[in-house]
Amino acid sequence: MQHFKNNPEYSNTDHVLNPKLFEEAYESIKNWSGYQPSPLQDLNGMANELGVNKIYFKDESERFGLKSFKSLGGAYAVVRVLKEHLQTKHQGQEITDEDLKSGKYAEELKNFTVVTATDGNHGRSVAWGAHECGINCKIYMHKGVSKSRGIAVELLGAEVVWVDGNYDDSLVRVKHDAIENEWYIISDTSYDGYTYVPKFVMAGYTVMTYEIAKQMEEEQIPTHIIVQGGVGGLAGAVCAHMAAIWKEHRPRFVIVEPETADCLYQSAKAGKPTMVDIKVETLMGGLSCGEPSTIGWNILKDNTDDFITISDDNIKSAMRLIAMGVGGDHGVEAGESGVAGIAALMEIKDNDEMRAALGINTDSRILLFGTEGATDPELYKDIVGS
């Protein structure tokens, strides 16, 4: 494990991610068919096992049947892009989510194509959004992504384009093909010249934080939030919204990444966005990202307290532990990337120096994000056994 203690300025992020976007996303998504808040699990047995006071675990294992928080982001961005496209064509006429999903504009949209690069879950969300709205979709996956994740996307009617290399190579290919064919990129990462759509993706993620604020009304505010890194889209959205909700009572914000894909950790050390060359793929496939999102980084650089990296060593054990339930806990289905926070706490359980550096002790109340369930069923069965 590596740790970098940041010196955040706790700056206001409204200029990066307008709070109005959060509200618009929540008001839209809460009315979608099948919407219900995901559980906030109290893992009291796990907390006792890992030497902390409380663990709150936001369980995204059943979200919209896609088994991932990503279903909130990509699909919402598809809806927003289509609505704005049609409003422009129809001179500002109001277009509703229901209009899109009912097929009212099917003829106009028959040649509309959305594309994205993905490690799995984001692509599935984009494919689902495209399917719901009746448009064309192409999902670019690198060879490190399991075939079962590709099949899940194809079952939603999207075409999978396999790319040699890693996630960043698939992103390069998407950019090229989208320009050449006039397709619309729905990416969960932002980069120079492409920041508009990723804000919708990030806004979709804050449905989770709206829910958490309501679910914790009778609880104590956490002392720590540990959230997965990746490109920084999820972390940036959670950080911005939780800071807006809890203001001066904001918890200590900790980002956890795989040690082989630690672009945010390296960026924090360098003081600027830094790309890493992923030579060894992590078991935490959804976090295998080598280049930070510019929007995410602009939030995190001034608002994150700690950046840590972990090995894959505790991932399988964490998946089994949370699945069986500890000390009376309800068993929770959590995939490889979904247990990163649990694995981090397992790694520091007997490391007094690291616990002190992170300010974690027996009084700590920690909020974790179970970002995915068994999104790769075969791998999950191999690890957990059922």
Q: Is residue 167 part of a domain?
A: yes
Task: Please list the active-site residues.
Answer: 70, 119
CA 156 to CA 54: how far, in whole Å?
Answer: 39
What is the pLDDT, as a whole number, of residue 73?
95
Q: Do 156 and 208 fall within a single domain?
A: no
What is the pLDDT, as a whole number, of residue 93?
86
What is the number of structural domains in the chain?
Answer: 2
CA 300 to CA 190: how far, in whole Å?
Answer: 14
Q: Do 344 and 226 fall within a single domain?
A: yes
What is the pLDDT, as a whole number, of residue 374?
94
Residue 212 to residues 76, 217, 233, 297: CA-CA distances in angstroms?
19, 9, 18, 23
Q: Do 113 and 147 fall within a single domain?
A: yes
Boundary of a domain, candidates 153, 187, 221: 187
Q: Is residue 198 part of a domain?
A: no
DSSP 191: B
CA 86 to CA 236: how far, in whole Å?
Answer: 29
Boundary of a domain, candidates 187, 215, 243: 187
Q: Do 248 and 233 fall within a single domain?
A: yes
The enclosing domain of 173 has a CATH number of 3.40.50.1100
Element (DSSP H or E) covering residue 322: helix 315-324
Q: Do 210 and 299 fall within a single domain?
A: yes
Q: Do 265 and 375 fall within a single domain?
A: yes
Q: Do 53 and 81 fall within a single domain?
A: no
Q: Is residue 195 part of a domain?
A: no
Boundary of a domain, candidates 154, 187, 220: 187
* Host domain of residue 138: 74-187
Q: Is residue 192 part of a domain?
A: no
Q: Is residue 208 part of a domain?
A: yes
Q: Do 51 and 109 fall within a single domain?
A: no
Do 291 and 231 contact (CB within 8 A), yes or no? yes
Q: Is residue 237 part of a domain?
A: yes
Q: Do 31 and 100 fall within a single domain?
A: no
Q: Is residue 194 part of a domain?
A: no
Nearest to 337 by CA among 378, 284, 288: 284
Q: Is residue 375 part of a domain?
A: yes
Q: Do 132 and 274 fall within a single domain?
A: no
pTM of the predicted model, to two decimals?
0.94
pLDDT truncated to tens, each residue of the chain (386 aa)? 999 999 998 988 998 998 999 999 999 999 999 999 999 999 999 999 999 999 999 999 999 999 999 999 999 999 999 999 999 888 878 899 999 999 899 999 999 999 999 988 899 999 999 999 999 999 999 988 889 899 999 999 999 999 998 888 999 999 999 999 999 999 988 888 899 999 999 999 999 999 999 999 767 899 999 999 999 999 999 999 999 999 999 999 999 999 999 999 999 999 999 999 998 999 998 999 899 999 999 999 999 999 999 999 999 999 999 999 999 999 999 999 999 999 999 999 999 999 999 999 999 999 999 999 999 999 999 999 97
Nearest to 40 by CA among 209, 285, 248, 227: 209
What is the pLDDT, as a whole number, of residue 92?
74
Q: Do 100 and 237 fall within a single domain?
A: no
Q: Do 32 and 85 fall within a single domain?
A: no
